[in-house]
Amino acid sequence: MTDVLDPPVHLEHHDDGHEEHHGPTGILNWLTSTDHKVIGLSYTVTSVIMLVIGGLFAEIVRGQLASPNGNLVSLAQYNELFTMHGSVMIYLFAGPFAFGALANIIVPIQIGAPDMAFPRLNALSYWLYLGGSITMLSGFFTAGGAANFGWVGYAPLSNSLNSPGSGADLWIGGLLLTGFSAIFTGVNLAATIFYLRAPGMTMFRMPIFTWNMLVTAILILLAFPVLTAGLIMLYCDRHFGTHIYSVAGGGVPVLWQHIFWFWGHPEVYILALPFFGMVTEVIAVFSRKPVFGYKGMIFATLTIAALSLGVWAHHMFTTGVVLLPFFSIMSLLIAVPTGIKMFNWIGTMWRGQVWFSTSMLMALGFLFTFLIGGLTGIYLASPPLDFFTHDTYFVIAHFHSVVMALVFGAMAGLYYWGPKITGYLLNERIGKIQFWFLFIGTQVFTFPLYILGLQGMPRRMAVYPNDPQWKTLNDISTLGAVLIGVSTIFFVINVVVSWKKYPAGDNPWDAQTLEWFTTSPPPHHNFYRLPQIRSERPTWDHNHPDHLSLHHGEHDGVHQTEGSPQ
């Protein structure tokens, strides 16, 4: 075991803390930088702003639904608001936050790379994303208002006859730009992970987060070009007189749904896998144990990715034009690898030392909320059950459990990696207050919606029949949405209060992976020296050479003394 104690490899011969990089500073640095950490930070700030904007839309939507004949907004404005709420959250927050913000910053450091493989392409990705976001949101300032056909933009509602406004075109344009941004980031991540790993960092020594990002990148490359093509065809239908999605010219409206969901269901995992990766790291570190079933976890991720390419039509069971049993069994089977992950997470905590930091609480919030979202998803994989829950609030509740779980994952990631990125910790006390508001708010928000859906309330209703029970359930849900809003305010307060207050040090969590071996924040090209990489947690091996990972049946070796000084 002594070989792990080999002296670290020195990459450069100068003192720690002396930054050799002399680029521009301040705003010029932000505008011109190709450093993955600067770009990643821009992504982080932009996507969190998008989270707040999307959240504000949601609060207005919930405000409108507080009474059956709400008149907070008009019918037309309501359609714009839920469309842009979904669009902002899915296209402009969840994805860019996962692969633009955290993966961009963390993946190169986790594998010991100096930067992304294509730094300028990385910068282009960010500017396309920012441009796309502004383009999409600018629809609100046009005469016809923003896009109003739902975030799925079903044809023929989205054609020029039914949605003539330029808000719809800006939606398409914004989505094309962010789509290209995602594709370029996917290329960049895959190339970085395949070609820029440090010596010793074999594929099966990569942290789970990096693994998940690799699989995400591949899914992006498979799925996003399909959406891009679909959007261009939609644009042609709108402006160039083609009839790809319209019956009148011999086109097929359902084709849009096939194209959209062929992107849309892998997209669900493009969004989810990064957050799975984040909580995997967080749970391992705050249980002071290796990831349980590391290899099983990777195979589960690969299985989910493979299956996710064959389940798109479970969004289309009620169209009556898809082969039900095939898409049903494929969708049901996704529960298996997802279940493996769930049990692996529990196994990671088992017999560990579970430390309730804010980050860990957020990860536990993810586990519970995702469990609810996952279990209710199994119902929707069964066509007869989907027939009566499709397009009702049951579906809304299901995927909000899932995406709120991702928000927990995002927060876990921010509290965990924030100190590495900025060099400063966030306040734990305020963080825990934020967690409880978010956790209770999420459950209070979603549970009434499940019941509401089963009682037959369809989605996307600006007004609803005056049924006292529907009103009560809607009011409880609105209360939950308010609690979630309050939790966001606590997050903002936390950032302000903790601003450059609590220096983090290199490794405040006694974490395990390579990014915690370098300084916080890391120097320009990330590392002055690297440890020997002999497992998927080189920093842990370096700090705790007597506590290496064990296989089933193995016992800690003679070197180990329980509670030995570190």
CB of 130 to another protein, least distance (A): 29
Q: Residue 354, interface with another protein (CB under 8 A)? A: yes
144, 458, 485, 508: which one contacts another protein (CB under 8 A)?
Answer: 458
Quickly list DSSP for 525-548: TS-SEE----SS-HHHHHH-TT--
CB of 256 to another protein, least distance (A): 10
Q: 3-class DSSP state for residue 271? A: helix
Q: Residue 149, interface with another protein (CB under 8 A)? A: yes
Q: Residue 464, interface with another protein (CB under 8 A)? A: yes
95, 132, 347, 418: which one contacts another protein (CB under 8 A)?
Answer: 347
Q: Are 107 and 515 in contact (CB under 8 A)?
A: no
Q: Which stretch binds another protein (CB under 8 A): 85-93, 154-162, 224-232, 424-432?
A: 154-162
| C-alpha span between 23 and 4 (Å, rounded) | 37
| C-alpha span between 518 and 114 (Å, rounded) | 12
Query: What is residue 7's DSSP assignment?
Result: P
7, 195, 353, 500: which one contacts another protein (CB under 8 A)?
Answer: 353
CB of 338 to another protein, least distance (A): 9
Helix axis angle, 253-287 to 335-349, nearest 10° = 10
Q: Rule CB under 8 A: which of 381-440 touch another protein? A: 382-385, 387-388, 390-392
Q: Residue 375, interface with another protein (CB under 8 A)? A: yes
28, 31, 49, 321: which one contacts another protein (CB under 8 A)?
Answer: 321
| C-alpha span between 40 and 105 (Å, rounded) | 5
Quickly list DSSP for 163-181: --SHHHHHHHHHHHHHHHH
Q: Residue 196, interface with another protein (CB under 8 A)? A: no
Judged by CB under 8 A, the number of residues near another protein is 99
Q: Residue 356, interface with another protein (CB under 8 A)? A: yes
229, 336, 492, 496: which one contacts another protein (CB under 8 A)?
Answer: 336
**Which residues make Cβ contacts (< 8 Å) with residue 243, sequence separation at least 6?**
237, 249, 250, 251
| C-alpha span between 286 and 243 (Å, rounded) | 56
CB of 362 to another protein, least distance (A): 13
**Residues paired with residue 198 on neighbouring β-strands, in sequence order:** none
Strands 502-503, 529-530: parallel, antiparallel or unpaired by DSSP?
Answer: unpaired
CB of 318 to another protein, least distance (A): 5
- Decide whether 126 or 415 has the Cβ nearer to another protein: 415
What phi, psi does 217 have (nearest 5°)?
-60, -40
CB of 378 to another protein, least distance (A): 7
Q: Rule CB under 8 A: which of 75-104 touch another protein? A: 75-76, 79
Q: Contact letters (x/-) for another protein, 4-43, by CB under 8 A?
A: ----------------------------------------
Q: Rule CB under 8 A: which of 509-548 touch another protein? A: 544, 547-548
- Decide whether 23 or 505 has the Cβ nearer to another protein: 505
| C-alpha span between 533 and 143 (Å, rounded) | 59
Quickly list DSSP for 224-254: HHHHHHHHHHHHHHHHS---SS-GGGT--HH
**Which residues make Cβ contacts (< 8 Å) with residue 73, sequence separation at least 6?**
60, 64, 81, 462
| CA dihedral sign of residues 136, 140, 143, 145 | positive
- Decide whether 33 or 328 has the Cβ nearer to another protein: 328
- Decide whether 415 or 491 has the Cβ nearer to another protein: 415
Alpha helices per DSSP H over 65-156: 75-87, 95, 103-110, 119-137
Query: What is residue 565's DSSP assignment?
Result: -
| C-alpha span between 62 and 57 (Å, rounded) | 9
Q: Residue 460, interface with another protein (CB under 8 A)? A: yes
118, 127, 154, 424: which one contacts another protein (CB under 8 A)?
Answer: 154
Q: Rule CB under 8 A: which of 291-310 touch another protein? A: 291-296
| C-alpha span between 356 and 286 (Å, rounded) | 7
Q: Residue 204, interface with another protein (CB under 8 A)? A: no
Cα dihedral: 523, 204, 187, 408 (round 10): -70
Q: Residue 144, interface with another protein (CB under 8 A)? A: no
2, 13, 240, 323: which one contacts another protein (CB under 8 A)?
Answer: 323
- Decide whether 56 or 342 has the Cβ nearer to another protein: 342
**Which residues make Cβ contacts (< 8 Å) with residue 45, sequence separation at least 6?**
none
9, 52, 222, 371: which one contacts another protein (CB under 8 A)?
Answer: 371
Q: Which stretch binds another protein (CB under 8 A): 53-61, 137-145, 223-231, 367-375?
A: 367-375
| CA dihedral sign of residues 498, 499, 502, 503 | positive
- Decide whether 154 or 235 has the Cβ nearer to another protein: 154
Q: Which amino acid, 110?
A: Q
Q: How many other β-carbons are positioned within 10 Å of the β-carbon of residue 352?
A: 16
CB of 59 to another protein, least distance (A): 19
Q: Residue 455, interface with another protein (CB under 8 A)? A: yes
- Decide whether 227 or 283 has the Cβ nearer to another protein: 283
| C-alpha span between 284 and 290 (Å, rounded) | 6
Q: Rule CB under 8 A: which of 229-268 touch another protein? A: 247-254
Q: Which stretch binds another protein (CB under 8 A): 7-15, 89-97, 119-127, 457-465?
A: 457-465
Q: Residue 339, interface with another protein (CB under 8 A)? A: yes
Q: Which stretch binds another protein (CB under 8 A): 168-176, 260-268, 281-289, 470-478?
A: 281-289
